[in-house]
Structure 1
Amino acid sequence: AVAAIPEDGLSYMETINCKRTPLIYAASSSGPFTTVSGSPQDIISSVPLILPKTGLARRRFDQWTKSRNVKPIIAAETEGNEAILALAQLGLGIGLVPQIVLETGPYKNGFVIHTAGNTLGYYEIGFIRRSEIYGTQTSRKIQQAVNDILHSNDWQKEI
């Protein structure tokens, strides 16, 4: 699979990092949140947010707000990044997503990006697989496909 890889890795998985992408806040370019100003704490406590229910972005967001005693306004929580962007596109708030999702997904246009700065960090995106299949014929084919992609000249243009 291709997924976000936590800073401490995945103990039960083999990973190959391929791309780094920041977490950003996305707002509809035709909605009420095209311009936001102030510190990250001010924005998060004054603008409705659309957040993932779980996952790496949510853990980072929760840790950051707790460490600064910030009380966010949460308009909605969803299971996936595309749902976050759909609700943000409706103007319900600003959505927290990895920038790569906005750039490469079905919601490529119609958004204003508000940087999260270094407050929430970056995602390492990469290939992951279960460690126990290492050495099998399937494993070798997967590894070869990953190597072929990573060593081609055009792979970063595609991502």
Structure 2
Amino acid sequence: MKQICVKRKIAVMDMRALQVFLSVADSLNFSRSAERLHLSVSAVSRTVQRLEEELGQELLQRDQRSMRLTPAGRAFLQYAQRSVAEWQDLRRQMRGDQQLAGEVNLFCSVTASYSILAPVLEAFRLRQPGVEIMLHTGDQADGIERVLSGQDDVAVSGRPEYLSSRLAFLSLLQSPMVVCMPAADCAVRRSMLSGDMASPGFDWSGIPFIVPERGVTKDMLDGWLERRGSKPRIYAQVAGHEAIVAMVGLGLGVGIAPELVIQASGMAARVSPVPVWEPLGPLDIGLVSLSSRLADPRVKSLWSVARQTYGIPL
């Protein structure tokens, strides 16, 4: 009996170390992880250091300004996520629990959190009250990379033209992409109105554009401009459609954004759609996950709830 208790204690301690690492991998900050886990910063740092010593690999590259996962750290992240999930499943089975338990890490933009995810999460809580959604927000353009690197289980993202074979994508809705200009009188609006915007010959070369830094919509805009043979003046490259809409509304330039974001931004009255000759295609928005992660019953259940909420056929 004593030997069994000792083995169980070691297993619990190992799980705790993995949970500490998962928190650090998410926050990339020892202080924030220590606050979340109710531990001292030194305890968090020592835990990661012990893992690195046991593995013989550096898991994190750190300097005075930043921290990031090494290739070994990204590989270990996937192992840690899988191990913690399996441990939680085992505990649930041993206790005879009927409900799932544990966590699902979910990444999305702020707009997507209430415009797209709200009904899904409401239904998911009713179905799986024992599963905690760890929601992380940021630029939707980062969603696919965060899923591929193992930082998150699921992300809300636009569907890229080329989707990695490692990924599964569940389309939930399509939002028209809108080229927009300031609604108020300003130099940008006057420049736009000085010509026939709906004409294929409209001169975009002097128009200041506010463009996405990266991601699906940047690729859409680049292709659209290339087909027109246009090289507009780039006023700013920014992260997030919300920032683009805000800057257009302030009269700083012309930009593109999903109609969903414009309507949810609170700035809809400050921007006007541009009747361009060739409209951009709609943005296909949905959930993305590693195909392998769908084997996890928590992720699979969230996927199923999202499908049912949006009436997506099997």
TM-score by length of 2: 0.43
Partner residue of 1:155? none
Question: Kindly tell me: are residues 147 and 62 of structure 1, through their superposed partners in 2, closer, same or farther at Cα, counting changes over 3 Å?
Answer: closer
Unmatched tracts of structure 1, length 5 or more: 153-159
1:2 paired residue among 151, 156, 173: 156
Number of matched pairs: 152
Contact residue 25 and residue 97 of structure 1 kept, 8 A: yes
2:265 counterpart of 1:105: yes
Which of 159, 171, 178 matches 1:17?
Answer: 171
CA drift at 1:115 = 4.0
Aligned to 1:89: 249
Paired residues of 1:87 and 1:93 also in contact (CA < 8 A): yes
* Counterpart for residue 54 of structure 1: 214
Q: Distance in 1 between matches of 2:276 and 2:309?
A: 30
Q: Is the contact made by 1:6 and 1:123 (CA closer than 8 Å) also made in structure 2?
A: no
- Map of 2:309 onto structure 1: 149
Q: Report the Cα distance in structure 1 between the residues aligned to 2:224 and 2:205, rounded to whole angstroms.
A: 13
Q: Name the structure 1 match of 2:95.
A: none
Deviations 1:49-108 (CA, angstroms, capped at 9, x unpaired): 111111122222223333443221211111111111111111011111122211223433
C-alpha contact 2:157 2:285 (8 A) present in aligned 1: yes
Quick one: which of 180, 191, 195 aligns to 1:26? 180
2:299 alignment partner AA: S
Residue in structure 2 matched with residue 140 of structure 1 by the alignment:
300
Give the number of the structure whose residues are more often strand, by fraction: 1
The aligned residue for residue 157 of structure 1 is: none
Q: Superposition RMSD on alpha carbons, in Å?
A: 2.4
Q: Distance in 2 between matches of 1:117 and 1:124?
A: 22
| Contact 2:245 2:265 survives alignment (8 Å) | no
CA distance in 2, matches of 1:11, 1:116: 35
- 1:73 is the counterpart of 2:227: no
Per the TM alignment, residue 143 of structure 1 is displaced from its structure 2 partner at its CA by 2.0
With over 3 angstroms needed to count, the CA separation of the structure-2 counterparts of 1:147 and 1:23, relative to structure 1, is closer
| 1:129 to 2:283 alignment | no
Gaps of at least 5 residues in structure 2 are 1-154
Is the contact between residue 22 and residue 98 of structure 1 (CA under 8 Å) also seen in structure 2? yes
Provide closer, same or farther for how the CA distance between residues 25 and 85 of structure 1 changes in structure 2, counting only shifts above 3 A: same
Determine the structure 2 residue equivalent to 1:44.
Answer: 204
In structure 2, C-alpha distance between the alignment counterparts of 1:72 and 1:41, rounded to whole Å: 14
Comparing both chains, which one has the higher relative contact order based on Cα–Cα distances under 8 Å and sequence gaps of 6 or more?
1
TM-score when scaled to structure 1? 0.80
In the TM superposition, what whole-angstrom CA distance separates every residue of 1:14-66 from its partner, at most 9, and x where no partner exists? 11112122221222221421763333552522321111111122222223333
Q: Tell me the CA shift for residue 116 of structure 1.
A: 4.5
